[in-house]
Structure 1
Amino acid sequence: MLSVLKIRNLALVEDVTWELAAGLVGVTGETGAGKSIIVGALKLILGERADRSLIRTGQDACTVEASFHLKDAKAVDAVLEEAGLEPCQDGELIVKRTISASGANKQFVNCSPVTIQVLKSLGEFLVDLHGPHDHQSLNSRERQMDMLDKFAGIEEQLAKYEAAWKEWRATATELDELENSERASSQQIDMLKFQANEIASADLKAGEEEEIESKHRIAANGARLAELCGAITSRLSDGEGSVIDGLREISRSIHELEKIDPGTAKMFEGFKSAQIELTELESSVADYAEELEIDPAELVRLESRIDTIQKLKRKYGRTIGEILEFLAETERKLSRIENRGEEIAKLQKLVKEREAEVLKLGKQISKKRADAAPKLAKEVASHLADLGFKQSVFAAQLTNLSEPAKSGLEEVDFHFAPNPGEPSKPLRMTASSGEMSRVLLAVKSALAKQDAVPLLVFDEIDANVGGNIAEAVGRKMAALGATHQVIAITHFPQVASLAKSHFVVTKEIKGGHTKSQIAEVAGDERVEELARMLGGSAASAREHAKSLLKGAA
């Protein structure tokens, strides 16, 4: 369940901390009080697009924070793990989002920064939000199929089928491309051969560019290197006043000094090491200078090699590694074109095998759907009867597809006839907005046991229905509250009276600024709120409110 929702500087809300209970939570308030801000805050938590106009006037940023307590966090933990985050501790999940006027928006899950996509992925397992127009999603055949599949409990089978379908389509695409390559022009084949030969003839080696450049740098500067080596060895050992001759003079003095005072020997240990190292240095520099070869032909060869590599890089890749990858791909294409007859036969066989697997898995799913469709229809119809459609007809009609699709071998279309004697037609063609809201609630009620999303939010979906029907809608929401946390934002006292907990959104003007607040009402305060919603004379409205609460109890 959603245990706490904190909203700060969002639209009319300055600072609100809303602690929620389980079951059906009713939210009421006068039009314009700010009830829609709750939905807006939840949409931000679910990763929907943020608009800087939502920030409260005079503020730099707005923040929304939601704390969820999850009885089963497996699905959420899987999303967190994929995002490189730690799993929930004791089922606790905190989602926070900050919208800044400067555009530097931030979002966090359990204090770790995340992307908007992570919020969207988490949202699928946290909140199912339905507004006045969201019931239109029921018109989507894809959404209808998702509902039927949930009722049938075939998620694992669907995952296997989808994986098999993707393999089949990938192989079929590969076959199609190869068959089309049979019609490749001789010019295209010649181009592939030219590219492959040009790269192969260069005989590139991974990592050779650095070695070639190093050799070229030495060869191009051979004379200068020899000159520098000569200067070093000359200073170290040639002629009077050389460093090494000077060190020998110092060494003789040290030797005499140590004879007179052996205690000074330790003082000159570092000197002896330095003398040895400098002598070795002079020898190493001399050897290096001797090995230097100034070969104009070698310099020309190295420059030519560098030019060849640069030319290939301009045409086939930024590095030798990328050029070699291009060569491998070109050779693969050539091989497939030149041996396409054998390859086509192999792929044709594989396509048939994979299609057979798809059909096998698809038929298993089709049977499950065929079994579940009338059961779902019967379940929905029973809930529709509770919602005022006493003699309506509801059906989930399955139609076979001409070829397997990603979702299976058939499509579903919900049919509905709200009144007796009328032929059932596709739901999108028959139901009004008020009827659609009730159908949505009936479907949700039928799927209550299968629906793992813990929080259902209904934002005024009871609009366009009468008083008696509103009570039936409220009772259906209350029944959903037995297995889910349900937030019902409503204008109907019949619905609000059935809520396990009741909150009222109000607004006040202070210092020229409008501020919305939300507070729980109980006892006499709840009676007063229901009386306000009922209208009429104060006394009769209060009595009516009391009778509604008594009936709800």
Structure 2
Amino acid sequence: MLSFLKIRNLALVEDVTWELAAGLVGVTGETGAGKSIIVGALKLILGERADRSLIRNGQDACTVEASFHLKDTRAIDAVLEEAGLEPCQDGELLIKRTISTSGANRQFVNCSPVTIQVLKSLGEFLVDLHGPHDHQSLHSRERQLEMLDKFTGIEELLGKYQDAWKQWRAVVTELDELENSERASSQQIDMLKFQANEIAVANLKAGEEEEIESRHRIAANGARLAELCGAITSRLSEGEGSVIDGLREISRSLHELEKIDPGTAAMFEGFKSAQIELTELESSVADYAGDLEIDPAELDKLEGRIHTIQTLKRKYGRSIAEILEFLAETERKLAKMENRGEEIAKLQKLVKEREVEVMKLGKQISKKRADSAPKLAKEVASHLIDLGFKRSVFEAQLANLPSPEKCGLEEVDFHFAPNPGEPSKPLRLTASSGEMSRVLLAVKSALAKQDAVPLLVFDEIDANVGGNIAEAVGRKMAALGATHQVIAITHFPQVASLARSHFVVTKEITGNTTRSQIQEVSADERIEELARMLGGSAASAREHAKSLLKGAAK
């Protein structure tokens, strides 16, 4: 369950820490007091889009923290593991989100930074939130099918079917592309052959471009290299005043110095090494110059090779490696097109094999859905009776699809007749908004045992119903509170009186500052809040409030 919700600087809330209990939690308060902020804070925790206009006036950021205590953390741990996070410890999950005016928003799970997508993934397993218009989800056949499948308990089987369906559709798509978009025309084959031949004739080698450019640089600058070598050897060893002749004179002087003072020998070891190295340098440069060949034909050949490589790069890739990859892909396409008949036959066989598996799993799902649809309808109908529809009709009608789809071999359409004597029609065409809210609650009640989401939030879904019906709605929420934590934000005292714990949202105005607070009420304070909601004279309203609490305790 949600054990606490801490909100700072969100809309009218300055700083609120809300500690919650299990079961049905009622939230009431006057219109405009700030009850909707609770829903807004939960939506931020669930990863919904942040609106910076919600940041409290005069503040730079708002923060929402939520702590969940979970009995079964397997689904949550799987999401955390995929995000590279540690699993929950002792069933505790802490989520924090900060929204700032500068746009530097941050979110954390168990004190580790995460992406918004991680919050959304976690939210699917934590909170099921229903607002005044969320009953419209019942209009969707896709959503209706999800509800039936949850009631049927075929998640694992449906997962196997969807994997098989994806594999089947992938092969169907490949076959269609081969038969249509990649139909082998003579022009296409000729183009592919030309491209493959142009690359193959060049006989490219991986890494040769660098080698050729180096050789070309030397060949193109042969005269300058020879000139530089000549200048070096001339300065080192040719003519009067050459470096090596000068070193010989210095060497003779050093020998004479050493004879006179043997102690100076160690000072000149470096000179001897330098003389040897410079002599070897002169020899190496002379050998290098002797090997230089200025061959115009070789230069033309290298330039031609560079031109060929550059031409291929402009057409087929930014490097020789990419050109060779293009060649391999072209040869694969060519082989596929030239052997199109064999490839089509192979794919046609694979399509049939995978379609057989899809139909096998699909028929298993169809049977389970067909068995469960009337059971779900009967279960929902029984809850509808409790909610004031004494003689309504509810049906879950299945209809076969023309071909296998991701959802299976059929779709479902909920039909409803709120009054006796009327034919049942699609729910989206028959129910008013008040009726749809009750139908949603009936479906939720029917799915209570299968629904693993621990927290259900109903934000004024009891709108547009009468007082007697509101009490029935409250009792149904209270019944859901036996297996889930349920937060009911309501204007009806009949609903609030049935809550295990009751919180009131109030608005305080001090000078030019407005603050919303939330506090738990019990005993006389709870009677006063219910009396306020009932209206009428103070004495009669309090007596009515007491009778509601007394009736709720039965």
Aligned to 1:386: 386
Q: Secondary structure at the match of 2:162?
A: helix
Aligned to 2:22: 22
Aligned to 2:206: 206
**Does structure 1 conserve the Cα–Cα contact (< 8 Å) formed by 2:22 and 2:485?**
yes
Aligned to 2:251: 249
Distance 1:245 1:53, change over 3 A: same
**Does structure 2 conserve the Cα–Cα contact (< 8 Å) formed by 1:244 and 1:279?**
no
Distance 2:252 2:167 in 1: 83
Distance 2:414 2:107 in 1: 39
Aligned to 2:122: 122
Q: Secondary structure at the match of 2:456?
A: strand
Distance 1:150 1:251, change over 3 A: farther
Distance 1:515 1:297, change over 3 A: farther
Distance 2:259 2:407 in 1: 97
Q: How does 1:288-367 map to 2 (within 5 A)?
A: 288-367=288-367
Aligned to 1:169: 169
Distance 2:549 2:257 in 1: 112
Distance 1:60 1:130 in 2: 30
Q: Secondary structure at the match of 1:94?
A: strand
Aligned to 2:483: 483
Distance 1:298 1:397, change over 3 A: same
Aligned to 1:134: 134
Q: Secondary structure at the match of 2:411?
A: strand
Aligned to 1:376: 376
Aligned to 1:469: 469
- Report the residue type matching 2:375 in the other structure: K
Tell me by how many angstroms 1:447 deviates: 1.1
Tell me by how many angstroms 1:285 deviates: 5.3
Moved more, 362-371 or 322-331: 322-331
Distance 1:324 1:280 in 2: 45
Q: How does 1:178-189 map to 2 (within 5 A)?
A: 178-180=178-180, 183-189=183-189
Moved more, 500-509 or 181-190: 181-190
Moved more, 314-323 or 124-133: 314-323
- Report the residue type matching 1:422 in the other structure: E
Moved more, 342-351 or 57-66: 57-66
Q: Secondary structure at the match of 1:125?
A: helix
Tell me by how many angstroms 1:135 deviates: 0.7
1:95 has 2:95 as partner? yes
Distance 1:517 1:341, change over 3 A: same
Q: How does 1:399-548 map to 2 (within 5 A)?
A: 399-548=399-548
Tell me by how many angstroms 1:43 deviates: 1.5
Aligned to 1:158: 158
- Report the residue type matching 1:350 in the other structure: L
Tell me by how many angstroms 1:272 deviates: 7.4
Q: Secondary structure at the match of 1:334?
A: helix
Distance 1:464 1:522, change over 3 A: same
Alignment gaps of 5+ in structure 1: none
Q: Secondary structure at the match of 1:518?
A: strand
Moved more, 405-414 or 528-537: 528-537
Distance 1:480 1:197, change over 3 A: same
**Does structure 2 conserve the Cα–Cα contact (< 8 Å) formed by 1:181 and 1:337?**
no
- Report the residue type matching 1:249 in the other structure: S
Distance 1:488 1:494 in 2: 12
Deviation string 1:195-241 (CA, Å, 9 cap, x unpaired) is 22222222333333333333333433444445555555666666756
Distance 1:517 1:211, change over 3 A: farther
Distance 2:457 2:490 in 1: 11
Q: CA RMSD in A?
A: 2.9
Q: Secondary structure at the match of 2:125?
A: coil
Q: In the comparison of the two structures, how many residue pairs are matched? A: 551
Distance 1:249 1:326, change over 3 A: same
Tell me by how many angstroms 1:192 deviates: 2.4
Deviation string 1:444-495 (CA, Å, 9 cap, x unpaired) is 1111121111211111011111112212211211221222221111111111
Distance 1:249 1:170, change over 3 A: same
Tell me by how many angstroms 1:145 deviates: 0.7
Percent identity, aligned pairs only, is: 86
Distance 1:234 1:118, change over 3 A: farther
Deviation string 1:171-205 (CA, Å, 9 cap, x unpaired) is 11111111125754433332222222222222333
Tell me by how many angstroms 1:255 deviates: 10
Distance 1:286 1:81 in 2: 68
- Report the residue type matching 1:107 in the other structure: Q
Distance 2:257 2:422 in 1: 123
Distance 2:115 2:256 in 1: 72
Distance 2:461 2:323 in 1: 61
Distance 1:277 1:189, change over 3 A: same
Tell me by how many angstroms 1:409 deviates: 0.6
Distance 1:274 1:18 in 2: 84
Distance 1:289 1:77 in 2: 72
- Report the residue type matching 2:251 in the other structure: E
Tell me by how many angstroms 1:130 deviates: 0.6
Aligned to 2:6: 6
Tell me by how many angstroms 1:319 deviates: 3.0
**Does structure 1 conserve the Cα–Cα contact (< 8 Å) formed by 2:247 and 2:275?**
no
Q: How does 1:189-204 map to 2 (within 5 A)?
A: 189-204=189-204
**Does structure 2 conserve the Cα–Cα contact (< 8 Å) formed by 1:244 and 1:278?**
no
Moved more, 505-514 or 198-207: 198-207
Tell me by how many angstroms 1:252 deviates: 5.6
Distance 1:90 1:278 in 2: 77
Q: How does 1:62-77 map to 2 (within 5 A)?
A: 62-77=62-77
